[in-house]
Amino acid sequence: MLNTAPLSELIHSQAKVYGEKTALSYRDYTTGTWKNISWKQFSHTVALAANALVHLGVRVQENIAVFTQNKPEGVCVDFAAYGARVVSIPFYATSSEAQIQYMIHDADIRFVFVGEQYQYDTAFRVLKLCPTLEKLIIFDPAVVRNEQDNISIYFDEFLRLGEGFPYDNEVAARARSIEPDDLVNILYTSGTTGVSKGVTLTYRMYAAAIQANDKVMDLSEKDVIMCFLPFTHVFERAWSYWCLSRGCQLAINLRPQDIQMTLREVHPTCMAAVPRFWEKVYSGVQQKIAESSALQQKLMLDAIAVGKRYNVDYKMKGLEPPLQLKLRYIFYEKTVIALLKKTLGLENANFFPTAGSFIPPVIEEFVHACGIRMTAGYGMTETTATVSCDWHHSTSSIGSVGRVLDGIEIKFGEQNEILLRGDTITKEYYRKAEITAQAYDEEGWFHTGDCGYLKDGELYLTDRIKDLFKTSNGKYISPQALEAKFVVDRYIDEVAIIADERKFVSALVIPDYALLEQWAKENAIAFENREQLCQNPLVVQMLMGRIETLQQEFAHYEQVKRITLLPHPFSMERGELTNTLKIKRPAIAKNYSAEIEEMYKE
């Protein structure tokens, strides 16, 4: 049953219902085991932390920051902040000094909670540059403090400030006084197109989002949720708050690189993910198929083909599969598909929300073919995540991003731009009146910058206005469509399309170095390092051939004519990626200007 208590009261309300049932779990890397936190313990820690915030003098609607990777302590601090009517601002765990300095200054932050050594060191280095900053509170007891540090405390010291709950009356009074339009969070956007903006999220927005999602998707207290995306990301944050409202268990993945291991350890029923996760799964399965015997290849390919016909061609369309197809699918579901799901740790799968960027149709078909219910969706930080998603009891189509949630109005403006109104839509960017005014028209419609259309009740995305490239021949190119097509190839890890004001389309390609090195050795191509490997004409020719095969469906003017293989991945440190791993095109154009110019030499 959905608990509709406001976020300020949710954890304490759920603790009364679920008591000793597990609310949160996390992997203890010292023992290699998963530790459980009950709803009762969760509620107790939240109450202690709320009292401690009041003890520190944190004011009503004051901003605090949580600078950490996913950790239970961060979740507790968030809900403690809500109970004390305080605004929590999450920082990405990989944020740079310049980024956190900007956010601390922009939001006048006095208190920053930090996770591990990197976050502590980064925050401590900006202390002298941030006059508002008064104290760091450290989650990880293994963090070694700077010898000159006389302002930070560890989390257990912080919690002791709330022992005995000396400020319970004050916390309760603050919770009772919360207004629907009070701020809950300020989420700073990743800044693909310019300066980072603080998106304001309120209690009204979260309440509307949780109830709208609950109407169209199947979630219950029996579900175990793997929290893989950072809680800083609105997708994971809003999704997790809905899951907690349903009494689900959150299994918190502390280290993103360990997700394959933690999935096999936890066997979750649900997990929010971006398409890149499933692209990696797809590439891994394709590699496994390629390395298998002829008989195994035939079985796996037939299982996927049967799964596609059963789930995509019939079930997703609300049709009953023919008996023969049903029998074949049941066979594969109990054998090949069951083994695949078990290998991934997804044998208990309920559904897997997927959003954040374009989902290549071949990836979406593959996931459904494997009997995993991918729930495609679309949303933004400014919309409290979900605008649309696949409704579980309605038909859905490959390539769509589902049906628009109840309570959200939608219409289409110039260039078919998606315009939105509703209670889940932010009203302003924090302290950015001019930018806010540019985002809304006189009728209150929020301009998303995304283009799309409705067909049979489902929303389809086409382009993002700011990302459209115009060649020197006057032709418009959608780089995302090409990039999404290419990254499904197992030899390609990342791609950046180049076309703006150019005669033709080219691409910077980050190959899968391990597979490429293996291919080179098998084909007797000598190389001493990655630079030599990526410059070898035979290697470039092989990858260009694969790209030419993948891009046949595109018009001639949209097709990539030349590529450059890069010996190093795109990097956040060099400003080429956002914290959500989206490419920053201006930075890539600047950092690789020489390589790009070389592709356009006659």
What structural domains and CATH numbers belong to the chain?
10-178+217-271 (3.40.50.12780), 275-425+449-465 (no CATH), 468-599 (3.30.300.30)
Average pLDDT over the chain reads: 94
pLDDT score recorded for residue 195: 67
Of the candidates 66, 92, 95, the residue with the CA atom closest to the CA atom of residue 573: 95
DSSP H or E stretch at residue 137: strand 135-138
Determine the average pLDDT of the residues in 274-285: 91
pLDDT score recorded for residue 388: 98
The rounded distance, in Å, linking the Cα atoms of 464 and 477 is 11
CB-facing half-sphere around the CA of 577: CA atoms within 13 A: 14
Residue 563 confidence (pLDDT): 96
- Where is pLDDT greater, at 500 or 122? 122
DSSP bridge pairs for 64: 88
Can you tell me the distance from the alpha carbon of 167 to that of 50, in angstroms, rounded to the nearest whole number?
A: 8
Position 20 scores a pLDDT of 98
DSSP string across 361-411 = HHHHHHHHHTT--EEEEEEEGGGTEEEEE--TTS---TT---EEPTTEEEE
Per-residue pLDDT at 586: 87
- Span 494-517, mean pLDDT? 93
- Average confidence (pLDDT) over 519-524: 95
Q: What is the mean pLDDT of residues 438-458?
A: 95
Per-residue pLDDT, averaged over 267-282, amounts to 94
Could you give the CA distance from residue 94 to residue 232 in angstroms, rounded to a whole number? 11
pLDDT of residue 109: 98
Question: Rounded mean pLDDT of 124-141?
Answer: 96
CA distance linking residue 90 with residue 124, whole number of Å: 17
Separation CA 351–CA 479 (nearest Å):
29
Write down the pLDDT at residue 466. Answer: 66
CB atoms within 10 A of CB 561: 16
Q: Is the pLDDT of residue 474 over 80?
A: no
Closest CA to 202 of 66, 284, 88, 71: 88
Sign of CA dihedral 199, 353, 386, 1: negative
CB 473 within 8 A of CB 549: no
Paired residues of 202 in beta bridges: 183
**Would you say residue 191 has pLDDT above 60?**
no
Residues contacting residue 317 through CB under 8 Å, at least 6 positions apart: 395, 397
| Those residues with Cβ within 8 angstroms of residue 501's Cβ, 6 or more apart along the chain or in another chain | 470, 471, 472
133/123 Cα distance (integer angstroms):
10
pLDDT at 223: 98
Q: How confident is the model at residue 88 (pLDDT cuts 50, 70, 90)?
A: very high
Instruction: State the alpha helices, DSSP H only, in 66-154.
Output: 72-83, 97-107, 117-125
Distance CA 354, CA 385 (A): 11
Rg (Cα) of the chain, in Å, rounded? 25
At 194 the pLDDT is 54
> Which residues in 50-74 are b (16+ Cβ under 10 Å) and which e?
bbbbbbbebeeebbbbbbbbbbbbb
Residue 517 has a pLDDT of 95
Q: Is 446 helix (H, G, I), strand (E, B) or coil?
A: strand
Q: How far apart are CA 426 and CA 429, in angstroms?
A: 8
Sign of CA dihedral 537, 581, 425, 194: negative
Confidence of residue 473 (pLDDT cuts 50, 70, 90): confident
Over 90: is that where the pLDDT of 118 sits? yes
Rounded to the nearest 10°, the torsion over CA 334, 335, 340, 343 is 90
Check whether 484 has a pLDDT greater than 90: no
Share of the chain above pLDDT 90, in %: 85
Give the pLDDT of residue 190. Answer: 66
> How far is 225 from 326, CA to CA, in rounded Å?
30
| 207-255 residue pLDDT tens | 999 999 999 999 999 999 999 999 999 999 999 999 999 999 999 999 9
> How long a stretch of residues is the chain?
602
Listed range (68-82, 381-395, 465-479) with the worst mean pLDDT: 465-479
Query: Which residues touch 470 (CB under 8 Å, ≥6 apart)?
Result: 476, 477, 500, 501
